[in-house]
Amino acid sequence: MKNIFTLSALLVVALIQAQTHQFIYELQYKMDSTEAGYEKLNMILDIGPKEVKFYGQNLAITDSLNKKFGMNSSYMDMSGQGVKRKINSFDNENFINIKNGYYSFKTTDKINWTISNETKKVETYTLQKATTRFGGRNWTAWFCKDIPFSEGPFKFRGLPGLVFELSDAGKNFIYNLAKSQKLPEDFSTEDFLESNFGNKAILINEKQKYKLIVEFYNDPFAFERNNFSKTNNNLKININGKEIHTVDELNTQTKSMQEVIRKYNNPIEVDKVIHYPIY
């Protein structure tokens, strides 16, 4: 683990219960489980008096810049890990981008931990090992009893202390606590979590979510295809830097996009993976 933060101040921060406590984790993850390389993101865990939220730091940064400079920028978080829940609850509201839409759906994600007697030291903190199986993967967490929050990254809560480190057995997802800070009690995520920069999340169920994702996979450029049909092909469309002139060229781009979607299909909850058809 990196030099974490002002560790000496962390316990004091945690004990002040009237504020929002923000913990930033460095996430390393594999978009394709067969590859050796990792993508990296900073993820934020907010623990407030009534709610817990987990989301990508780039969302908060974009929102902050918008408010500071009167901008109207947006950011699409494709981590698939935006969630919020009530304090001490395993009932999560999940947030997800699908094509140009922003949606939420609810799940109950009870996690049963096996706590080991094994410990290790990180700077001045003693971490204790715990394991669980969740989302089709085996996980190992290292938590600290001295930080009295029963929370951790994503949906991984329920231990008698804050999770400092978390990884699955295949090392597809690796979280390390990197920083801590305290925020005003009324810190709002309304513009970038519950809404995505103007697009309020539409509540759906998991069956509807599956249908929307498969529809996008079947025709990822449906909007562009519709424009072609309306203009009798007299239209130039730019897709990923390439100018498209005909429906045949669009079909080629569609197949290429479908290959990308199948390749980078390594969700954190692998038991819910979508098995895309090959056309």
Q: Which tens digit of pLDDT belongs to each residue from 103-160? A: 999 999 999 999 999 999 999 999 999 999 999 999 999 999 999 999 999 999 999 9
* 83 and 155 Cβ atoms separated by less than 8 Å: yes
How far apart CA 193 and CA 187 sit, in angstroms, is 12
Q: Which amino acid is at 246?
A: T
Q: What is the pLDDT of residue 203?
A: 98
CB atoms within 10 A of CB 12: 10
Q: What is the pLDDT of residue 244?
A: 85
Q: What is the pLDDT of residue 226?
A: 80
Q: Which tens digit of pLDDT belongs to each residue from 34-53? A: 999 999 999 999 999 999 99
Q: What is the pLDDT of residue 71?
A: 94
Q: What is the pLDDT of residue 8?
A: 43
How far apart CA 196 and CA 97 sit, in angstroms, is 9
- The whole model's pTM is what? 0.91
Ranges in the chain, pLDDT < 50: 2-3, 5-8, 12-15
SS3 of residue 262 by DSSP: helix
Burial, 156: exposed, middle or buried (Cβ in 10 Å; 0-12, 13-18, 19+)?
A: buried
Bridge partners of 75? none
How far apart CA 210 and CA 226 sit, in angstroms, is 23
Specify the residue for token string 């009690």: 185
Q: In this structure, what token pair is assigned to residue 92?
A: 């999560």
The 3-state secondary structure of 18-78, one letter per residue: CCEEEEEEEEEECCCCCCCCCEEEEEEEEECCCEEEEEEHHHHHHHHHHHHHCCCCCCCCC
Q: What is the largest CA-CA distance in the chain?
A: 69
Q: What is the pLDDT of residue 234?
A: 60
Label the pairing between strands 242-244 and 237-239: antiparallel
Q: What is the pLDDT of residue 12?
A: 47
DSSP 8-state assignment for residue 204: -
Q: Which fold has domain 7-203?
A: outer membrane lipoprotein receptor (LolB), chain A (2.50.20)
Establish how many alpha carbons lie within 13 A of residue 162's alpha carbon, considering only the half-sphere containing its beta carbon.
27
* Domain ranges, ordered by start, for the chain: 7-203, 206-272
Q: At what angle do helices 247-263 and 222-230 cross, to 10 degrees?
A: 170
Q: What is the pLDDT of residue 85?
A: 98
Q: In this structure, what token pair is assigned to residue 38?
A: 């990792």
